[in-house]
A and B are shown apart, each in its own frame.
Chain A
Amino acid sequence: MTSHLMEARGATIRFGGLTAVDNVDMYVDVGEIVALIGPNGAGKTTYFNMLTGIYKPTEGDILFNGASIVGKAPHVIARQGISRTFQNIRLFPALSAIENVMIGRHMRTKTGALGALFKTPPARKEEQQIQADAEKWLAFVGLSGVANELASSLPYGAQRRLEIARALATEPQLICLDEPAAGMNPQETAELNLLVGRIRDAGVTVFLIEHDMKVVMEIAERIYVLDFGKLIAQGTPREVQNNPAVIEAYLGLGADALMAKHLDEGGDDA
């Protein structure tokens, strides 16, 4: 019997002849901050897509709270408590910031067609509650001031935070962040690190893909490394940092020293 929040067993996905994720075992426990790293094209986002039901693994199993989620539709998995952000931000561009977050509340609320058409008192009440909750999550990521701005008109860093607010509004147990720091300046990145900590403190387990080694080393408690779809290393940041396979994957053979130095200095915006 597993006690992990999320556990992948031999998860594999093939696209035609290409094995994008190859026999990966991985787990995340409640309350952890776990990072998934690897070079471009290593299969990280594909793994997230399997986890959130967008792709179905060709082989293997993924358990969430001990039950398999393989083959379930994305919205079903979301309802079970896995929420996510996207590598290339996928906000609802023509909606305002707060409306984006309000859509995150969709699955936790229940007004149906009749309630919506006739604006019944329960529907009104729920609508107010949705708005209040959305405001709360906007405030949580520090975007209260731009609630009525169009999502697409926000600066890049704010869009990333808005995506996080939208994901949090679904009340997930596990939030999957796909490169949350991409495109952020150092100050925004520092704020993001704090935000990730606060998300965990709010009781949400964090699983993130990140290229920025500085972010990973600072906030992740455990790291998995994918390369060519295979899991090549795992462990604490320190362990992974000194793992020859990881260094090879990132820089090619013979570059151990360079990589070690690079990581010691905190990496860069890869």
Chain B
Amino acid sequence: MSYFSNIFNGIKTLLTGMSITGKYFLNSRKGAITQQYPDNRDTLKMFDRFRGEVIMPHDENNEHACTGCQKCEIACPNGTIEIIWDRGIDEHTGKNKKKIDKFVYHLSMCTMCGLCIDVCPTDAIKWGQNFENSVYDRTALTRVLNKPDSKLRAGVED
């Protein structure tokens, strides 16, 4: 007798499970979390804090806020940031000050830990939301973040 009751019990538990899958099968549109990724590129918006890459925002006068203090370079665990700097006369104050020549960012070494942005005293670098970073040549992953001929914004001190 227990032979048959085992069979019926087995079928019952399977049907219980199938009632769940059947429910989702019939309401397949509801509660779907899959994103149609390459097709939804136009509408896809990442969260504000999303860590895609490090960027250096420039304003309309082609000015940035990086004073070249190199705190980010020291904070970085992987040697991702390399600042090539020089000394020059600051045109706003007339003092001989440190200024950046190139802010080199090796995206291929970056672990997105955020310590550089956390430590930056002038908020010169920020998180960019772009995450499509694949390239055919890895040298393209080494970027210079400050734009050509960009200057330090007036009044930014570290």
Genuine A/B complex: no
